A and B are shown apart, each in its own frame.
Chain A
Amino acid sequence: MHRSAFLAWIAGALLWAAGSAHAILPIQHWQTASGARVYFVENHDLPMFDLSIEFPAGAGFDSPEKSGVASMTNRLLRRGVEAMDEDEIARRLANVGAQLGARFGIDSAGLALRSLSSATEREQGLDVFARILAAPQFPQSVLEREKVRLIASLKEADTKPDTIASRMFYRLVYRDHPYALRAAGEPETVKRISRQDLVDFYRSHYTARHAVVALIGDLTRDQAAAIAERITSSLPSAERPDFVLPPVPELRAGTTRDIPHAATQAHILIGAPGMRRDDPDYFPLFVGNYILGGGGFVSRLNEEVRQKRGLAYSAYSYFSPLRQQGPFVIGMQTQREQAGLALKVVRATLRDFLEKGPSEKELTAAKQNIIGGFPLRIDSNRKIHEYLGLIGFYGLPLTYLEEFIKNVERVTVAEVQDAFARRIDPERLVTVVVGPASSHSQAAQ
């Protein structure tokens, strides 16, 4: 293998592998002594590495009474450890140019580190990273400060039409399911968070047994193994065998909500529970959505709303696959006076897509883009690193990326139409319109 063209080699091999069943992306996978799962790609092209560790510790594990605990726990990890306060942590990382990042989502949460691979820099960054994971102190005074800051941010966000729309959308789509909760919490629930809540959440969720470590960069396998041991050996030990989120209940009927707001644009969200990460319909829905509203400038929604009528700067749709059914979302913003017209166009576009499915020509174009553009998905360490975390956390096969191309290639028009018909019922959609005072959205139905 030519040292200086590692990613090129992978991408070329993957395209070639579309017709074979062999694993090509050299993901090395093992478990640490404490049970953490490790995913490693060795790549010496640049003198740097990316490391992340994730746990089932996202906002989906919050309770309605204290929503925001998961997020605040993650936020405070780096805010003080045994014998090192937050200022010292920040200085030690900055002194070696290391970048510490938070990972926080609905299902998972954790930390990421980007560092130079040279010995001094690597050691200092890893030392801080390991200590943050092993002995966060959650200082009371820092918690009080961060609560004030977060509550202020939440109140600020609650004046914005996009936040107002998205909160209502999630509430209507998910109702009693934890996915309905706002990831950072609510002003009144954040107020209730105590230091003990954070300690408890950390102890039960940030455990080695549930940890997924992803690593890519200028490290040998031995170095990677040592790093994985080092950052997981002092994590709390698991008391619970597994963290399971309840399934998402079906929507029984469509709901439409208009929320008045003085903004010049109406913010429109339409959707329903969509699909799981391990959904058997994943590829038909993914490819189909490219045609409907995922393919940037060439999607049907963009064509009907923007190109033909100039109604919006962007109109899009996406599935956000999660452990349980993540949302299917159609979104756009348009001048408030024409919200009703825009809704009519979006609904007609969706209905037509659901009734007739994509054309063969559209499906071919979608596959050409997704498959032809596959190298763009893995053209940097950062992008491969994202995939490693995804494959690890959701337990996808190590051959996920190789099979990706084959799975896209295989999708048929009938499968797209069938998968959408089973998932998206135009009579059972949530519609939220923030903007005009009158019910433009009702009138449009």
Chain B
Amino acid sequence: MSVAWRLWRTASGAVMWAALALSGVAVAADAVETALGNGMRVIVKSDHRAPVVVSMVWYKVGSIDEMTGATGIAHVLEHMMFKGTHSVPNGTFSRLIAAAGGRDNAFTSKDYTGYIQTLHKSQLELSLRLEADRMVNLVLSPEEFAKELKVVMEERRWRTDDRPRSLVYEQLMASAYVAHPYRNPIIGWMTDLENLRVEQAREFYKRWYAPNNAILVVVGDVRPEEVFALAEKHFGAIPGKALPERPLRDDPPQLGPKRLVVRAQAELPYMVMGYHVPALRDPEREWEPFALEMLANVLDSGDASRLPQRLVRGERLAHSAGAGYAGIGRGPGMFYLSGVPTPGRTVAEVEAALRREVKQIAEEGVSQDELKRIKAQAIAAHVYERDSMFFQAQQIGTLETAGLSHRTVGLYLEKLRAVTAEQVQQVARAYFIDDRLTVATLDPQPLDGKRPAAPPAGLRHAP
């Protein structure tokens, strides 16, 4: 029950989307989908490598759908989904899954909320029966809500309040977006959590938890027809609902660069730069998102990419440095650059170096060797991904809840392969300008609470 997968790549540079199936291997089939009469979609990917099934129900609702003053409600509701129904009392859900040899969990993101069970394939029906039940029959009691809210506050303290770099990221988002709900943390502001009431959870549940707002994704040792039949049996009778309008909420134009400082107890300074960039909307026709993905990989896709090689190992300016493109989501896209200076160096120097690296690509482009290397890495990564059923199910759900077809999986390598050096250069030129930029810096404070004598290096910045 965690807030997971914030779609923000850090230093690892892992490719976020899957790619097309390589020919000649027949252990896994393409995903197949159907829709029930009530509008619920079912997507099944057979993978017969092990007698295991990963079953996920994804609701197209997340922190993006929250109202001012009630941030965190999507995630609190995710926790409450384990608190019982009329026929499956509080505490029983996880016990039933455990007794069947299964594991269960759930996650909330900006765009979606998901519920997972991993089980022996013979237990799939148990998972679907329980999910169908709590889609409509959830009991939300004030006592359990009050208790669970305390758990969520502990989760917030643990994830964010006591982690300086999480605070920096949270503040970056709150500053980069003015009106768009991406400005709010998924887990919610503590001040909002303190005021949440069970009625708000009931209302949110009533509004968004419906078969026509859900996608069942099943990956494993199953045949699509048997999953379709089971889905019909358990979810088919649940009536669909009229879902609220989802307004397009564009941010007003940014008027200049934004800067902010977070003071928290730490040893090392840290900085993140966020640039507003386009998100992926039409994978067939767009090329820019793929050029941005390529740019992120040229900068940061492991030891052989530019940031680790130049900033960390070559110049020894950065203790670590990273880049990432978050382009899959219902909301706008963002490109991140981040770094920690080596002791004796400053965040200003790291920022200047990161800007220089992007500028160099804008002016000189990237080499054919680099493009070739990143494509080779993507092809290999795609094969490796198929060693994990969980990952495959996660890809399908992430794409679908972002409004993209799971078939985008099949386009990714093709589109990445088609990216040219000129296109990478073009996006580096177009989007890395100050009017799209927010910079957040961690100004580390000593543990004993005394302020440092000298002005902190983090406050000086490049012109």
Contact = CB atoms under 8 A, between A and B. Distances in A.
Contact of A265 (B162, B268, B343): B162
Contacts of B309: 87, 90
Interface size for chain B: under 10, 10 to 19, 20 to 34, or 35 or more residues?
35 or more
B267 A159 contact: yes
B387 interface: yes
A372 B120 contact: yes
Contacts, number: 207
B376 A46 contact: no
B72 to A, nearest CB: 14
Nearest to A153: B319
A388 to B, nearest CB: 15
B99 A297 contact: no
A313 B98 contact: no
Interface string A100-121: 0000000000000011100001
Contacts of A116: 380, 383
B302 A94 contact: yes
A97 B302 CA distance: 11
Interface centre among B101, B316, B343, B381 (most CB of A within 10 A): B101
B91 to A, nearest CB: 6
Contacts of A148: 316, 342-343
A287 to B, nearest CB: 13
A309 B221 CA distance: 39
Contacts of B383: 46-48, 116
Interface string B36-67: 00000000000011111000000000000000
A425 B51 CA distance: 41
B449 interface: yes
Interface centre among B27, B316, B381 (most CB of A within 10 A): B27
Interface in A257-276: 261-265
Contact of A373 (B120, B149, B376, B380): B120
Interface stretch (A24-32, A67-75, A318-326, A363-371): A363-371
A359 interface: no
Contacts of B104: 297
B102 interface: yes
A64 interface: no
A373 B268 CA distance: 43
Main secondary structure of the interface of B (DSSP, over half): mixed
A145 B162 CA distance: 29
A176 interface: no
Interface in A287-325: 295-298, 303, 306-313
A94 B371 CA distance: 11
Contact of B101 (A151, A297, A369): A369
A264 B157 contact: yes
B373 A94 contact: yes
B91 A4 contact: no
Contacts of B16: none
B50 A94 contact: no
Contact of B380 (A4, A89, A98, A159): A98
Contacts of A121: 380
B154 interface: yes
Interface residues of A, number: 74
Given A8-B49, A97-B376, A148-B342, A313 B22 contact: no
A370 B98 CA distance: 9
A96 B150 contact: no
Interface string B248-283: 000000000000000001111000000000000000
Given A87-B309, A97-B380, A382-B387, A334 B154 contact: yes
Contacts of B447: 159, 261-262
A374 to B, nearest CB: 7
Contact of A145 (B48, B99, B101, B313): B313
Interface in B1-40: 22, 24-27
A178 interface: no
B454 to A, nearest CB: 18
Contact of B100 (A47, A158, A368, A374): A368
A94 B376 contact: yes
Nearest to B446: A159
A126 to B, nearest CB: 15
B38 to A, nearest CB: 30
Contacts of A155: 267-268
A409 to B, nearest CB: 13
A286 B99 CA distance: 17
B202 interface: no
Given A98-B380, A374-B101, A263 B162 contact: yes
Given A90-B302, A145-B313, A374-B101, A158 B267 contact: yes
Given A46-B383, A149-B312, A335-B157, 12 more contacts: A5-B27, A5-B221, A46-B387, A90-B302, A93-B304, A97-B381, A115-B380, A264-B161, A313-B158, A372-B102, A376-B102, A378-B50
Interface of A: 4-8, 11-12, 45-48, 86-87, 89-91, 93-99, 114-116, 121, 145, 148-149, 151-153, 155-156, 158-159, 161, 261-265, 295-298, 303, 306-313, 333-335, 365, 368-376, 378-382
13 contacts: A5-B48, A6-B49, A46-B383, A46-B387, A87-B313, A94-B373, A94-B376, A95-B373, A262-B447, A309-B147, A333-B157, A372-B101, A373-B102
Interface of B: 22, 24-27, 48-52, 82, 91, 94-95, 98-104, 118-120, 123, 146-155, 157-158, 161-162, 221, 265-268, 301-305, 309, 312-313, 316, 319, 342-343, 372-373, 376-381, 383-384, 386-389, 447, 449
A-B pairs with lowest CB-CB distance, top 5 = A372-B101, A97-B380, A310-B150, A90-B303, A373-B101
